Amino acid sequence: MNELATLDQYFGVWAIQEEPFHTAADLYSRPDFDLEVHFRTKGADARQQAAAYGSRGYATVGHDGSVAVVELHGSLMKFVPSVTAGTSTVQARRQIRAAVADKSIRSIVLLIDSPGGTVAGTADLAEEVAKADKQKPVHAYIEDLGASAAYWVASQARAIYANETALVGSIGTFMILNDSSKRAEKLGIQVHVVRAGEFKGSGTPGTEITDEQLAEWQGLVESINSHFLKAVRTGRKMSTARVKQLADGRVHVGEHAKALGLVDGIEQLDATIERLAGPATSSPPPIAAVTPQSQPQTNTTPASVSPATPVSPSPRRQSAMDTEAAIQVFSNAIKLQMLECGVDRKTATRTIARRHPEAHKAFLKATNPHMAAAIG
């Protein structure tokens, strides 16, 4: 793909927290900004994520690996942004669909740390979340920042949780127009727009932005914003009046966001994952009972066999199950550490081994026969 073909995604209507937007815009306008370098490195984050999570593009966590984690980090745009770190909404939709289709996945977590992004692509991703939740539980977790377009998407999940210092909200949309007609006049430049259509060519650099043009763009922004408000109203089950009260562009911290109804609870990410995965059991569920109808015909009468009595696994099978469980629990803890702290697998493994020595010992005994003999 020609990366320069995606440059146009930076122009248009945005649903993003203003400060990150202006920071990125300032970077773009700096004289030492090298556009070629940024586009040449475009997609590096996406490639690293693909290498870490495989063809599915998402991590699996929980004691049994049944929870899919779809990350929405940085600016949300249809294509992976190059000027700032961010997420492709098109890729995120594919990941959600893959998680829904995967029979080993029981639930999905949207791990969000984003100021929002372009309106383009956001509504489609939000609809994908709502659709997925009808098939498998989808919960959103806001880790530090879930603003504007990111909140638009989160609002379609079954529930939203956040950490205590998370900034949540920024409901609204905007676009920026520059009237450079005075500058062109000082430079002795007169710009003519030859148009067919009253508003065609509006905003052309060097031309005046009229009151009529501003009114037209204001109507466009409000029309797009109405879709944002409708999504929040439907997803969060709020009245239209209540959503309009909250749609003033402000963000709210942790408990205040909860009090306003923007999130359902304040907790750590692992608590959200544990709830979706369900409690880990010390032993696997019993094998289904053998009913008289499934047994070969013998002299034993049906009344002598109780259908409600579970058949315990053999010692060898139980040992294999315990080994598999030890590997899964330790591996999932490593994945969660990589997600939460943004570290590589080697660093995450050292951290988890230090925090949970018993789990590490069980993992080593399960995966290394020589180590098992040394540990005893």
C-alpha–C-alpha distance, residues 146 and 152, integer Å: 9
Is the same domain home to 260 and 197? no
User: Would the CA dihedral through 72, 78, 80, 85 be positive or negative?
Assistant: negative
- Regarding whether 350 and 329 lie in a shared domain, the answer is yes
From 13-22, 176-185, 236-245, 353-362, the region with the lowest mean pLDDT: 13-22
**Could you read off the pLDDT of 222-244 as tens digits, one per residue?**
888 899 999 999 999 999 999 99
Report yes or no on 286 lying in a domain.
no
| Number of structural domains in the chain | 3
- Nearest Cα neighbor of 226 from 208, 247, 242, 245 is 247
Active-site position among 148, 170, 202, 331: 148
Q: Which amino acid is at 5?
A: A
Q: Has 200 been annotated as catalytic?
A: yes
Residues 342 and 215 reside in one and the same domain: no
Domain limits for position 195 = 182-209
Q: How far apart are CA 217 and CA 196, in angstroms?
A: 18
Pairwise CA distance, residues 203 & 177, whole Å: 7
Residue 339 lies in a domain: yes
Q: Over 90: is that where the pLDDT of 249 sits?
A: no
Q: Are residues 218 and 346 in the same domain?
A: no
Pick the range with the lowest mean pLDDT from 35-39, 111-115, 266-270. 35-39
Residue 305 lies in a domain: no
Place of tokens 């806001």: 142
Query: Does 304 map to a domain?
Result: no
247 and 265 co-located in one domain: yes
Kindly report the pTM of this predicted structure.
Answer: 0.65
Region label for 264, one of left (φ > 0), alpha (ψ between -120 and 50) or beta (otherwise): alpha
Measure Cα distances from 230 to 185, 219, 220 in Å. Answer: 44, 17, 16
What tens digit of pLDDT does each residue of 265-321 get?
999 998 999 889 886 654 433 433 333 333 333 343 333 333 444 445 555 555 555
**Active-site residue among 182, 200, 230, 244?**
200
**Residue 148 bears catalytic tag:** yes
